[in-house]
Each structure stands twice: as C-alpha cells, then as structure tokens.
Structure 1
Amino acid sequence: MDPLLQQVQRAGVIGAGGAGFPTYVKLDCQVEWVLANGAECEPLLYKDQALMQLWAKELYGGMLLAMKQVGARRGVVGVKRKNADTVAVLESLKPGEIDLLLMEDVYPAGDEVELVYEATGLRIPAGGLPKEIGVLVNNIESFINVFRAAQGQPVVETMVTVHGEVNRPYTTWLPVGMSYREALALAGGVTCDEFVIVQGGPMMGSVTEDLDTAITKVDSGLLVLRKDSRIAKIKQRSPEDVRRIGKAACDQCSLCSSMCPRRLLGYPIQPHLAMRSLQVSLNDNTSFALAAQACSGCNLCTMWSCPEGLDPSRVCGLTKDVLRENDLWQSPAQLQAQAVDVHPLRSYRGVPIKRLTQRLELTQYAKTKAKFVAFEALLQENQQQDQQPKVGLEKVCIPLSQHIGAPAQAIVKVGERVTRGQMIGEPKPEALSVAVHASMDGTVTEVGDVIVISKK
C-alpha cells in the first residue's frame, strides 16, 4: 500500500459525517479535481465554520497532500458566500493551486452531488461515484485529519456542535468514546423535561433518547429538541405509521418531486411515484417503487415540500428496502439510462436556509450561534457550575466499528494501560477497515465490540 494511504488507514481517518467511508480508499485513485465540502447547509451546525476559521492551514495541507496523491490539478473549497469571516480566512491563506467556490445559502448546497455540479459543471453518474468523472470529495474535517495522519497524529476526537434545548450551545473537539450525557452536561445541561437528541443535522439526522451513546468519529451535531417538536414527531414515526398515513392522505400533488434537488439535477427520482406505490398492490407497483431508488435522503420533500405533512423521504427509504429484498435493485447503468437534462428552473428552486429554519421551528435556537470553545475551557466551566452533572471523563467507550466496512481488531487486553493516541484496534487485513485509537490515558476495563478505557 502507498505510504500515505497506509498512514491514513492506520490513523483511522474516515469521513467525519454520514456513513464514515474510509478515506484511504477514496485516495486510491487518479482524478483531476479535489473538492472540500464546507457548505454546511444543515441548520444550527457550526463545526465546519469553526474548522475553516481556526484550522485552515491544516485543511489546505490535507488537500494538497490529497491532490498530489491522486494527481489532481484543481482543488476547490465549497463555502457559503454569507460566511464572510470564514471566506476572509480562507482567502488569506489560500494556496495558488486551490480556489474557493462561493455558494448560495440554500438547502441542500452541501450535498456531494450538488457541490460537484456547482464546482465542475459535471454530474456524478446516477448510482455512481465522483471518481468516475474525475472528482474526489471529502468534508473539511477529513482533510484536516489527512494532514494530521501524515504528521503521525491519529483520530482521537471529532468536532461536534451541541445546540438546541441546552443552556450554552457550543462547538468543540470531543473525545471519541465520550457519552452524549457528558456532552450535554458541558452545555450546561438540558432546558426541558422531555427531549430527544438528533444525531447530526435536523434534516438528515436520526433520533435517540439514549444518553449513554458514545461519540464516534462520524458525529457532527447533537441537537436537543423537545419531544413534542415537529422534527421529533416526524423522525419518531414508526414505519407502519409512515406507510399508513401516506397511503391514506397523499393526493399526488407531486410537489415533492417538483422540489426534489436530485430530480432537478436530472436524476431518476420521483418521490410522488414512491408515494403512489403505497396505494397499489405489490404485483403492480414495481414501476412506481423503482422511482425511489435514486433518493439521497435529503428530507426536503418531508420537511419542506409536502403540504400534507407526509413523509415521502421515509417512504423512499422503506421502498428501497423492498426493492433490495425482491431483487429489483437497478444497476448504475440502468439508473443512468433514465437520467434527463438538468431542469431549467433548478437555480430558482433552492430553499433558503432562513425559511427552512422557520419551517423546522428552529428559529429560536438559530438566534444563538454555537461558537467554538476549547474543550478544556468547557471542562473548567463545568466544574465551576453548581447545578449540573460534573464531567470528569472517567471513561470512554470506543466502538471498534465506526465506519463502513470491517471493524478494527482489538490489540489490547483488559488491565492494560494505554495512552491517548495509542492504537487499540488495528485494521482487519485484506478488508475495508481502519484503525481505532485511545482517546484518553487509562486502563482497559472491557474488550468486545466496544473497548472501554477507564481513568483509574
């Protein structure tokens, strides 16, 4: 394996968001373009802005390493025009080989397909990958981690925004394996009685009530919302309710398809046909169900477009499961054959983030920016507060699987002393796999699918 790829794999670098695709595999190609996705179009999140403002040199360093590795001649950082402070920092430090793409404040500007089209004028083939058109895309944190990996620094923390129903929203580097409970305590505690945590952004994030969940490398946001909030209600609907309500109430207005960002780019996705499939028996609904496969799960149809308050995005997701189960999954070539030209009105149908934030009932939170605060400062402030749980970081619970592919293999035993940054799980040989490292000094107290490290 190439030395840089090996460094990136053994440092545990993966996509810092989404499914966490191992970065060493992405870098194993030859392309013309390297794109850094700093659009950050999910409301309330601030992590990418903090990273670009405070770690721009490392961002550019990681991009230049990636460009050399893949033979790219062009580098682009996508950032929203409205973020003037960030743009100013990036401009002042920008290498000559890299340009800025100033994007509009619309959703979903941060979608990989949208960024590629805006930056290059090219469309990723339906069902295909960016490298097929000579493009490599990573998020901001991943490029920073590539730079650090080349310096021998493994991934032991991730940048996270904590916002919503908390006393003091913040953005900071949180140790991998720290619990959600402790992350919320660093925000001064929760300000309501019944709440859920949205993992990620309010549009595409998932919901949990488990405060003992561990921070992983793919965490980007922890949004605390009231249990009776619009977002919480929608995201907690059961699959049965999603299907039942959709079957009974969808009037086939097709607004979901008219506003679908992927549809506007010409991809073969029509959410209203996926909704129609609910009303037709399995033997006759195949043509309707197939219209769901190209869905990206951006949730715009559910959170913005549908006048009935239905959930076309979830229906598309559930329909895709049915397609797989019945061997009806289409190949990339079949999907690409159905693609059409970019819609002439696409540029007029971007959804302004401010209006989307209002529709999501998040305006009250958006008034407070979750600015970056150093982790040590948050710990110190926590210790000085009287009426909240104290965060001592007594232990971390680090999953061996935090990414697409095979889990890392444990190389430590119970009772062993480890130090921060020490490898505790090595990549599985001959598999899509990356290493895992200790995020604090301590003693290994449990080894399984999760490695527990305790301070004492």
Structure 2
Amino acid sequence: MDVEPLLKLVQQAGVVGAGGAGFPTYVKLDCQVDLVLANGAECEPLLYKDQVLMQQWGHELCGGMLLAMKQVRASRGVIGIKKKNTDTIAVLESLLPENIELLLMDDVYPAGDEVELVYHATGLRIPAGGLPKDIGVLVNNIESFINVFRAANGQPVTETMISVHGEVVAPYSAWLPLGMSYREAIELAGGMTAKDCIVVEGGPMMGAVTADLDKPITKVSSGLLVLPRTSRVARIKLRSEADLSRIGKAACDQCSLCTSMCPRNLLGYPIKPHLAMRSLQVSASNNLSYSLAAQACCECNLCTMWSCPEGLDPSRVCATTKKALRDQQQWQSPAELQAQTTEVHPLREYRGVPTKRLARRLELSDYMTKKAIFHDFGIRPEKVAIPLAQHIGLPAQAIVKEGEIVTKGQMIGQPVEGGLSTAVHASISGIVTAVGDSVVIQHQATAESAALCN
C-alpha cells in the first residue's frame, strides 16, 4: 500500500505505545531513521504477553515492522528477544523477511529498557534527555507494531494483550476489551487464591499498586499481578513517602551500591542514586547538587529491589526528587545532561542481574514455575468504561451521546485537531449509557433489561 496515509491511519486507529506511557505511534513514525527496533525483551518477571504475541501473531509483527520501515525509510529491522525464549525464536525464524533479524539477548534485568536495548543493538547511546531517533533508531514494543499492521488493514485498537499472574488459580495472557475492569480480568484467572492481597498494575519491578479493582483496562495495560500483602514486593511498594524519606535519612550509609549497579550509570548517564539519597540529609543550597543527580533515573527500580543492602528505596527517592526538580523549575536541559555523560563503564557487561536471581530476591520463584500462557476466552463483558485519555497528550473528544447504539470498532472519541491525540473506539457493541472522561457502553440486552427493572 502507499505509505503516505499510514500516519493518519495509525492515528485514526488509536495506536499508542502498548505497555509504556502510551506515546502516540503516529508521531513516532513521523521521522527518518536507519533502524526499526521491536522490543520483545520482556524482562519483568511473570509477564508473558510479548512472548504470546510473537508466537501467535508474528506475521502481523513483521508486517507492522515492514510498514514502519517503509514509512521511516529504514533499511533494517531488528527484534530484540532473550535467548531463553527458544520456542518464540523458532516461530520468528520461520517468518522473518530478509531485512528483519533477531537480536538475541541475555536473561538479565533490565534488558528491555529502551536505552539498554538500543545500545545492545547498535553500540550507540541515546543522548541524555534525547530520543532514539536522535541516533537513527525507531523503537516500539511488539503490540504496537501489530497494531500498526492492523491499522493499515482497517482494524482499530479495541483490545490489549495482558498477563494476569500471581495469587490466582490459573495465570493467563489474553486479548481483553478496553474498558473491562481489573476485577473481571482477575476473575477470568479463577479469582484470587489468598485473602489479603495487593494488585500491581504492570510488572513487579516498575508496576504500581492499585486498590481500585473497578479501574478499566486501557491501551497501556500490560499485566495485573496479585501478590500477598506480606510479600517483599508489597512491603516495598506500600511504603509511604514519609516513611521512605524518614528511613532513608536515618539508615543510608552512602555505600553507593545503588549507583554502582545502576544500568543507566553503567552506560555513562549522569544518574547517581546514592547522591539522591544524600539529598535527604541536607537542606537549602547544599541540597541542589545532590538532587540533580536523580534526574536521569529511568525508575527501573533495580537499586531498590536488588542493590541496596539496607532495604531502602533509592528509586522512589529519585522519582520524588525528579518531581520536586520540575516543580521548582530546576530541571536540566538535554544539553546540560549530555555534558555530564561519561564513558561506558568497563565492567558493565558483567553487572547484569539474572532474572531468576532477581525473582528469588522478589520472593516470586514459586510463581515463576507457571507461565501466563495464552487463553482465548471470547470474553464479552456486559459493560465497559473506556477512558478518552489513554495516551500522552490530549484526550480524544467524545463523538457519541448517551442513548446512542454503537458497534465494536466504531470511533467514539476523535483525535483533537492539531494536537497530540489519537482516536478511541468501542470495544463492544451496545448502548452508550454515560459520556464524560470515559464512555460507558452496555450490551443492548443488558441496558434494556435494566431499563425495564427501573
């Protein structure tokens, strides 16, 4: 097909970065680069969605990559995948066109970090504060490339692949409709197998705890992990900011192991978590130089979950410090960050953290014996609440009204004209029962039955 309309098709289909921050893909594709890179490293323990996607929809992945390569005029495509995933590798090797190859990676964390992946694939570093396109690379995750292929063939984004794991009867990965609740997704796994649990949105390293099981699945949902409240992951993630600051002030002995194991620091970026921790112990003008050492943090959480011998939380300290830097207008420019960048550490390749050892440290080894394999539930929720804001930028503008009948795949929110915005579509057919920040849709029979009862 002619590639000129591709950006519009991708925007109108609502394609965004799936599993990340939700950056609109049509903007990413508006560039010229040499290499298109698909991130299939999937280094968060317990998540398995990318493996499922590559195993069962590998032809669509390659098709989406080829469309992207033509759009950005790249001569080469690469899929990053861990060597351990031999079943996935076998499937992909039978599908790859001549100009797409596999990049086989060690089973370490955080191999799937965009900066790590780009360096592994090219030997080049993304400039501090910069983007992959600055060095001629386009990076997207697996599901996004599949959605690009589908967009080019008239299929909008109405569902997302998600892994559900942990304290559930039967872990799974499945396509689930946008707007379906977390509660329903967990029920599909047979429900929780423990009484006092937390739910982590995403992976155990970078995911966040939520207490709201009525929250809807969105385009950026990647996993739901049900873990005991007494687990190490829960204990760390449930600490209050006041506690992490108080404990950090009292217990950090400035051993600097957090910095010596930091993946970004090992690549030479100006991030030093131990100095961010030191900022808790000083005030006034002396604080700023230490606080600035937090800005380049990618919040991979390795310092907290792995490195710190005191069980402190340098990652969250960096995150809260970064917010303070923004609020106080002390954020450094990319040029200022780049000026502080140093050479890649000579021992970097020997400091990768093996995923199996990380899982043991996280107290997840028992769950690792089960994969969240693919299930086709053919699920049809009675109601969905589809947010109009599922991406970075401006929310889509609702174009449906209460009482209107819509069909699955119909656009219910259009992109904002001239803004960073993408479309949103109905994930089920039914009647619109509410329009606000979300569009609520009920199956017609359900809505009519409710009306009769009232």
Same-fold call, TM > 0.5? yes
The separation in 2 between residues aligned to 1:195 and 1:148, in whole angstroms, is 37
Match of 1:184 in 2: 186
Deviation at 1:321, TM superposition (A): 1.1
5 Å matches for 1:46-195? 46-195=48-197
Match of 1:436 in 2: 424
Q: What runs of 5+ residues in structure 1 fail to find an aligned partner?
A: 380-391
Count residues in correspondence. Answer: 442
The separation in 1 between residues aligned to 2:370 and 2:148, in whole angstroms, is 32
Matched, 1:13 2:15: yes
Task: State the Cα deviation string for residues 273-308 of structure 1 (Å, max 9, x = none).
Answer: 000000001321111111000000000000000000
Query: Of 414, 423, 426, which residue of structure 2 is paired with 1:426?
Result: 414
The separation in 1 between residues aligned to 2:285 and 2:428, in whole angstroms, is 56
Query: Of 397, 400, 406, which residue of structure 1 is paired with 2:388?
Result: 400
CA contact (8 A) 1:408 1:433 kept: yes
The separation in 2 between residues aligned to 1:49 and 1:374, in whole angstroms, is 15
Match of 2:448 in 1: none
Query: Of 287, 290, 295, which residue of structure 2 is paired with 1:288?
Result: 290
Deviation at 1:375, TM superposition (A): 2.2
Identity, % of aligned positions: 73
**AA aligned opposite 2:317:** V
CA contact (8 A) 2:38 2:142 kept: yes
TM-score with structure 2 setting the length = 0.96
The separation in 2 between residues aligned to 1:191 and 1:3, in whole angstroms, is 49
The separation in 2 between residues aligned to 1:423 and 1:157, in whole angstroms, is 14
Q: Please state whether the residue corresponding to 1:247 is helix, strand or coil.
A: helix
CA contact (8 A) 1:4 1:150 kept: yes
The separation in 2 between residues aligned to 1:375 and 1:28, in whole angstroms, is 36
Match of 2:447 in 1: none
**AA aligned opposite 1:43:** P
CA contact (8 A) 2:52 2:374 kept: yes
Match of 1:305 in 2: 307
**AA aligned opposite 2:437:** D
Task: State the Cα deviation string for residues 340-361 of structure 1 (Å, max 9, x = none).
Answer: 1100000000000000000000
CA contact (8 A) 2:4 2:71 kept: no
TM-score with structure 1 setting the length = 0.96
The separation in 2 between residues aligned to 1:86 and 1:330, in whole angstroms, is 41
**AA aligned opposite 2:322:** K
Matched, 1:445 2:433: yes
**AA aligned opposite 2:236:** I
CA contact (8 A) 1:195 1:209 kept: no
Match of 1:243 in 2: 245
**AA aligned opposite 2:64:** G
**AA aligned opposite 1:405:** G
The separation in 2 between residues aligned to 1:417 and 1:43, in whole angstroms, is 41
The separation in 2 between residues aligned to 1:11 and 1:373, in whole angstroms, is 25
Match of 2:337 in 1: 335
Deviation at 1:73, TM superposition (A): 0.8
The separation in 1 between residues aligned to 2:222 and 2:327, in whole angstroms, is 31
The separation in 2 between residues aligned to 1:232 and 1:214, in whole angstroms, is 22
The separation in 1 between residues aligned to 2:64 and 2:27, in whole angstroms, is 15
Question: What is the aligned-residue RMSD (CA, Å)?
Answer: 0.9
